[in-house]
Amino acid sequence: MKPMTIAAEEFRRCLTEYFRAKRSYLFARGRLGLYAGLRAMELPPGAKVIVPGYTCMVVASAIKYVGLVSEYVDIDPKTYNINPSLLSSVSSDSAALIVQHTYGIPCDMPSVQAWTTPRDIPIIEDCCHAVGSTIDGRLCGTFGRFAFLSGQWNKPFSTGLGGMLVVNDPALVEAVERLVNTELKQRGRFSDLLLRCQIAAHDLLVRPATALWLMRAYRLLNRLGLVVGSWSPVEMLCVMPDDYFTAMSPCQIQRGLREMARIDDNIRHRKMMTAFYHDRLSKMGFAPLDVPGAEAIPLLRYPVRVANKQDVLTHAASHRVEIGSWFECPLHPDGTPMEMLGYSQGMCPESERACREVINLPTHLKADESVGDKTLKFLAKFAKPA
């Protein structure tokens, strides 16, 4: 056993309690939670994992690094989640299925389970967008063998990058434990210091009005290798970096603990902003989110379909509004070599359409109603409903 700091133990305990799980683990990024959980499942090499074809490339690359193969299923255009009615067309010899509660919209778990349960296919939950979303009162993240969460800057709560694995299935605990004890690397001193500075800079500088400019600068610095980014250049080529499987740093753990202390405020605020956009968008001629109880979901971002996505994104930065582009392609971001991850153009037409049409609006704690107002005024001026 490696020594574990008191803060790490406390953060893990908070997560485990929150999700009423068996055990939680902390990593440098969310994708590592998926990687560790999949490794622990000990699936046969080459086994298929069903994934919504509307996700981050790092989900598909984690699957690949474990030696498994992604099988993409298209989304329901209303929920942006895996379309359960398409499951009957995928191979029933799949070894696992990943549900992703996109934008915080809970996946239709009863329909998914109606397909997986008789086939004995284990469910994994990608909760990188969903903390606090529920299905009939049951928290997303409590349905699968394990759930993974991201602490990246723009996720439900940020640990300044970082990731979390919440294990529900007691049978997986021992294997994850072994993996973490034998293979998990610690971040170097310099990288830890850099990250500490980045977290401080982020908290000080990033506001809805500055977010897009700073994001551009950050991406550039990442490309130049000058900051700790959310991906490294080799990863964009689907090659596993040497320092891939790395633990969460103390500065990230401290931030995570602060975020867990205000998680209820965070969720309440997101619900309030969801209701705010929901009400106003329909009056503006944009289609509001068309899922039952939409106005009460603590959305991570409020998705809106527009006919001129690129125009809107181009103007957003200069108008100092925080418009998001998730997802830019079925395996976000733009530029992912999707064929290397088994995705070929046309596989998921609804996902591809969503990538062309969907922009998203901020609901986080720094985006209050006045930010929401400004964002909607911008949309009224520059965006055309799809």
Binding residues vs ligand PLP (CB under 6 A)? 29-31, 55-56, 58-59, 100, 126, 128-129, 150, 152, 155, 163, 230
- List, in order, residues 6 or more apart from 8 with CB less than 8 Å away: 26, 248, 250, 253
Q: What is the closest distance, in whole angstroms, from the C-beta atom of residue 248 to ligand PLP in the complex? A: 11
Side-chain half-sphere of 127: how many Cα atoms within 13 Å? 30
Q: What is the closest distance, in whole angstroms, from the C-beta atom of residue 374 to ligand PLP in the complex? A: 25
Q: What is the closest distance, in whole angstroms, from the C-beta atom of residue 282 to ligand PLP in the complex? A: 26
Q: Considering the complex, state which of residue 12 and residue 301 has its C-beta at the smaller distance from ligand PLP.
A: 301
Q: Considering the complex, state which of residue 255 and residue 382 has its C-beta at the smaller distance from ligand PLP.
A: 255
Q: What is the closest distance, in whole angstroms, from the C-beta atom of residue 157 to ligand PLP in the complex? A: 12
Q: What is the closest distance, in whole angstroms, from the C-beta atom of residue 319 to ligand PLP in the complex? A: 25
Q: Considering the complex, state which of residue 168 and residue 252 has its C-beta at the smaller distance from ligand PLP.
A: 252
DSSP letter at 230? S
Q: Considering the complex, state which of residue 298 and residue 376 has its C-beta at the smaller distance from ligand PLP.
A: 298
CA angle 52, 54, 60 (to 5 degrees): 70
**Which residue type occupies 294?**
A
Backbone angles phi, psi at 98, to 5 degrees: -100, 125
In which element (H, E) is residue 135 found? Answer: strand 134-135
Side-chain half-sphere of 16: how many Cα atoms within 13 Å? 15
Q: Considering the complex, state which of residue 209 and residue 263 has its C-beta at the smaller distance from ligand PLP.
A: 263
Q: What is the closest distance, in whole angstroms, from the C-beta atom of residue 168 to ligand PLP in the complex? A: 18
Distance CA 181, CA 189 (A): 20
Q: Considering the complex, state which of residue 71 and residue 378 has its C-beta at the smaller distance from ligand PLP.
A: 71
Q: What is the closest distance, in whole angstroms, from the C-beta atom of residue 197 to ligand PLP in the complex? A: 19
Pairing, β 123-126 against β 55-56: unpaired
Q: What is the closest distance, in whole angstroms, from the C-beta atom of residue 55 to ligand PLP in the complex? A: 5
Q: Considering the complex, state which of residue 26 and residue 321 has its C-beta at the smaller distance from ligand PLP.
A: 26
Q: What is the closest distance, in whole angstroms, from the C-beta atom of residue 162 to ligand PLP in the complex? A: 7
Side-chain half-sphere of 317: how many Cα atoms within 13 Å? 12
Q: Considering the complex, state which of residue 35 and residue 276 has its C-beta at the smaller distance from ligand PLP.
A: 35
Q: Which residue is nearest to ligand PLP (CB)?
A: 30
Are the C-beta atoms of 101 and 126 separated by less than 8 Å?
yes
Return contacts of 7-12, CB within 8 angstroms, 24+ apart: 7/250, 7/253, 7/254, 7/257, 8/248, 8/250, 8/253, 10/257, 11/253, 11/256, 11/257, 11/260
Q: Considering the complex, state which of residue 30 and residue 53 has its C-beta at the smaller distance from ligand PLP.
A: 30
Torsion sign across C-alpha atoms 379, 381, 385, 386: negative
State the greatest distance between any 2 C-alpha atoms of the chain, in Å, as a whole number.
Answer: 58
**What does the block give as tokens for 285?**
């001629």
CA angle 249, 31, 167 (to 5 degrees): 85
> What radius of gyration do the chain's Cα atoms show?
20
Q: What is the closest distance, in whole angstroms, from the C-beta atom of residue 129 to ligand PLP in the complex? A: 6
Q: Considering the complex, state which of residue 100 and residue 266 has its C-beta at the smaller distance from ligand PLP.
A: 100
